[in-house]
């Protein structure tokens, strides 16, 4: 392929680790803004459970990281469990600590559970808004799902102060615990970017890396959109590798052939 020599240089570059880096710069696509608006709506209605879904690489974790930070700044009690794991004790421990419950290293699972429920009841009396977010929820064990089910039924929605937000990859949604999906008041789909979003992000990316002078014409941007499937993570990786490839070749132009070869390299 035309860009094979450039990719050979990129493979040997010490900065290849960039392909697994988080997106830079951050870009609020219309899909992101719509998903945030719907999460805000779920809190306003005091929904019991809201499910955020989307393809792998669609930006669910990035969205939740930024959204939970905003909620904390507004004074909400926010629990954000990014890696729920498979052990009941670890899950209860993380949940108790983030809820600011009075627990210690020797606290047993039943005591952790009691402290969690006691703290949630206290937040109701204090009229504090509580958001419990569990990312990658498709990875949890059934025992952990049982905990979430009890939380949702007894401490979320209606007159309580808590809302449970579950993030699950769309490919796993059909096989996810139906006991929880049936409790969902709202399902939010984080959609992929269209070509216009890719073009806008490319401009932001170019501005963030002025030293590279990365050049993508409309054909190259369309290729990025097509080969990435509109997934932000893949788009960011393609642009990162394009930047390294153009630096190695000393040519700022990115062609559709370059994008195709980079995508094959990522697969």
Which residue segments constitute the domains of the chain, with CATH numbers given?
4-18+193-266 (1.10.8), 30-189 (3.40.50.300)
pLDDT at residue 4, as a whole number: 54
Distance set, CA 112 to CA 65, 101, 116, 234 (Å): 25, 8, 6, 40
Residue 212: which pLDDT band, with cuts at 50, 70 and 90? confident
pLDDT bucket at 174, cuts 50 / 70 / 90: confident
**Share of residues in the chain with pLDDT > 70 (%):** 89
Tell me if 198 sits within 8 A of 228, measured CB to CB.
yes
Beta bridge partner(s), residue 97: none
Cα distances from 8 to residues 41, 142, 229, 249, 260, in angstroms, run 49, 46, 25, 11, 15
Q: Do the strands 162-169 and 49-54 form a parallel or antiparallel pair, or are they unpaired?
A: parallel
Q: How far apart are CA 232 and CA 71, in angstroms?
A: 23
Q: In this predicted structure, what is the pLDDT of residue 11?
A: 56
Please report, rounded to a whole number, the percentage of residues in the chain having pLDDT higher than 90: 63
Average the pLDDT over 25-37 and give the result: 92
| E strand or H helix at 147 | helix 142-155
pLDDT value of position 16: 45
Residue 9 has pLDDT above 70, yes or no: no
Task: State the pLDDT at residue 86.
Answer: 60
Q: Output the pLDDT for position 67.
A: 97
Q: Return the ∠ at Cα 226 (arms to 225 and 229), rounded to 5°.
A: 80
Q: What is the pLDDT of residue 1?
A: 46
Q: Is the pLDDT of residue 24 over 80?
A: no
Q: Has this prediction a pTM greater than 0.85?
A: yes
Give pLDDT, residue 175: 87
Q: Which of 46-50, 100-104, 219-223, 263-267 has the lowest mean pLDDT?
A: 263-267
Residues 213-223 as b/e (b if ≥16 CB within 10 A, e otherwise) read ebebeeebbbb
Q: Identify whether the C-beta of residue 65 lies closer than 8 Å to the C-beta of residue 242.
A: no
User: Each residue of 182-210: pLDDT tens digit?
Assistant: 999 999 999 999 999 999 999 999 888 88
């Amino acid at each position: 392929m035309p860009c094979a020599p450039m990719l050979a240089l990129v493979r040997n570059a010490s900065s290849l680790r960039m392909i697994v880096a988080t997106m830079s710069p951050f870009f609020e696509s219309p899909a992101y803004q719509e998903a945030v608006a719907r999460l805000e709506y779920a809190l306003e209605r005091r929904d019991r459970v809201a499910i955020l879904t989307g393809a792998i690489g669609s930006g669910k974790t990035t969205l939740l990281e930024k959204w939970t930070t905003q909620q904390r700044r507004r004074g909400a009690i926010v629990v954000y469990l990014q890696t729920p794991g498979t052990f009941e004790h670890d899950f209860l421990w993380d949940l108790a600590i983030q809820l600011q419950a009075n627990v210690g290293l020797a606290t047993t699972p039943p005591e952790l559970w009691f402290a969690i429920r006691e703290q949630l009841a206290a937040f109701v009396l204090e009229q504090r808004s509580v958001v419990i977010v569990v990312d990658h929820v498709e990875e949890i064990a059934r025992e952990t799902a049982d905990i979430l089910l009890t939380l949702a039924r007894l401490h979320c929605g209606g007159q309580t102060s808590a809302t449970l937000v579950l993030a699950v990859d769309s490919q796993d949604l059909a096989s996810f615990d139906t006991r929880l999906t049936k409790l969902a008041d709202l399902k939010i789909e984080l959609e992929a970017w269209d070509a216009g979003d890719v073009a806008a992000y490319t401009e932001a990316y170019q501005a963030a890396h002025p030293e590279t002078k990365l050049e993508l014409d409309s054909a190259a941007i369309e290729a990025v959109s097509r080969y990435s499937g509109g997934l932000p993570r893949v788009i960011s990786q393609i642009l990162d590798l394009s930047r390294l490839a153009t630096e190695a070749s000393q040519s700022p132009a990115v062609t559709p052939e370059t994008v195709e070869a980079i995508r094959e390299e990522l697969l």
